[in-house]
Amino acid sequence: MNFSAEAGSVRGMQMEEISKLIAKRRSIKPALMDADREISLDLWHSLFEAANWAPTHGLTEPWRFTVYSGDSRSEVAKALQSAYKAETAESEFRPEKFEKMGKNPFLANSVVALVMKRDPKGKVPEIEEVEAVACAVQNLHLAASAVGLGVFWSSPAVTYGESFAGFLNLEEGDKCLGLLYVGWPKEGMEWPVSKRTDAMAKVVFKP
Ligand SMILES: Cc1cc2nc3c(=O)[nH]c(=O)nc-3n(C[C@H](O)[C@H](O)[C@H](O)COP(=O)(O)O)c2cc1C
């Protein structure tokens, strides 16, 4: 992928290709991923380069990513489980959910922790930093979709809690925004279809 940001507009780009990419970006469930198929370092660089071009108020660039592959996925599994144990009332505790948390990270080739790094000077409102990270994730997801790589954004409640923040060594003001499961689709997987309601029903034009 070429992320040249030289001067000059992109007017004239193939709008048809871009709209297709946007509409065909899909969440690919980890169960549909081939966990053993490696993702090259070159491709990771391209994905994070795409993320890095997200809009960012005040150029704070608040996105931070930690990639867990191979054995380190067990750290995520354990952190999810211990957060669930610590933060769930006994009456609400579901053993099957606990088990799943221990297994899910191994369904994908890699799990990426998504973090919003709070600007120490609080230059812009927190919500804008969260928005910027979401834009970065969308960029990454679009770039992944363009090469057929599966991505799934997962945000179980525990990923927002204190226990998981401790696991990620978050500092004051930082926030975990969930996990991205990343992996090549299993051979033969049909790229999923989705639907949206009418775009224009969510828009008001004022004369
Ligand atoms: C911030 C965010 C968090 C999400 N968390 C979850 C989640 O915890 N579980 C889940 O099944 N999907 C989650 N999703 C993915 C949505 O389910 C998915 O985007 C939606 O079904 C539309 O499918 P598509 O992405 O293929 O268009 C999340 C998406 C976003 C933007």
Residue nearest to atom 9 of ligand 1 (CA): 154
> b/e for 152-171, b at 16 or more Cβ within 10 A?
bbbebebbebebbbebbebe
Structural domain contains residue 192: no
The pLDDT tens digits for 110-141 are 999 999 999 999 999 999 999 999 999 999 99
Mean pLDDT of 133-160: 98
Q: Domain total for the chain?
A: 1
Say how far apart CA 38 and CA 43 lie, in whole Å: 10
Structural domain contains residue 199: no
Residue 184: partners with Cβ closer than 8 Å, 6 or more residues away: 33, 34, 37, 39, 109, 148, 149, 150
Q: What is the pLDDT of residue 7?
A: 86
DSSP secondary structure, 96-154, as one string: HHHHHHHHGGGTSSEEEEEEE---TT--S-HHHHHHHHHHHHHHHHHHHHHTT-EEEEE
Q: What is the pLDDT of residue 78?
A: 98
Which protein residues are within 6 Å of ligand 1, measured from CB?
26-27, 153-156, 178, 194
Structural domain boundaries, residue 148: 27-184
Q: Specify the ligand 1 atom closest to the Cα of 192.
A: 26
Mean pLDDT of 180-206: 97
Residue nearest to atom 31 of ligand 1 (CA): 153
Structural domain contains residue 87: yes
CATH classification of the domain holding 154: 3.40.109.10
Mean pLDDT of 18-23: 96
Please tell me the least confidently modeled range out of 7-21, 54-68, 73-87, 97-111.
7-21
> How far, in Å, from the CA of 29 to the mean position of ligand 1?
10
Structural domain contains residue 75: yes
Mean pLDDT for the chain overall: 97
The pLDDT tens digits for 33-45 are 999 999 999 999 9
Q: What single-letter amino acid sits at 89?
A: A
Say how far apart CA 117 and CA 131 lie, in whole Å: 12
Question: What are the two backbone dihedrals, phi and then psi, of residue 182, each rounded to the nearest 5 degrees?
Answer: -130, 130
